[in-house]
Amino acid sequence: MDKQFITFLRKTMGLNQEEFGEQINFSKVYVGYIETGLRPVTKKFKNVIIRSFNLLEEELTFYYMMHKKLNDKQNNMKN
């Protein structure tokens, strides 16, 4: 899971950084650090997202893989 996916997930949910942070009990500053790459996406952060949004780990992994596949496809189309 990477910073681009966290931004994608947050925006897909229609949340700004502050709202997303409130949902997962992290500050908007920390969410911003993750989205800009100043902090890594840790296993703890991933698990908090899973719990906070009532997801299964497999669901989050599926969403990430689809996001990655779409990004790869878009990047290939640019080349």
CATH number of this structure's domain 3-78, picked from the four choices 3.50.50.60, 3.40.50.920, 1.10.260.40, 3.90.470.20: 1.10.260.40
Per-residue confidence (pLDDT) for residue 11, from 0 to 100: 95
Residue 56 has pLDDT above 90, yes or no: yes
User: How would residue 58 be classed by pLDDT, with cut points 50, 70 and 90?
Assistant: very high
* The pLDDT of residue 21: 97
Number of neighbours of residue 9 by Cβ within 10 angstroms: 19
CB 11 within 8 A of CB 74: no
Higher pLDDT, residue 21 or 79: 21
32 token code pair = 């911003």
Q: Once rounded to an integer, what is the mean pLDDT over residues 4-32?
A: 96
Structure-token pair, residue 39: 């902090």
8 pLDDT more than 80: yes
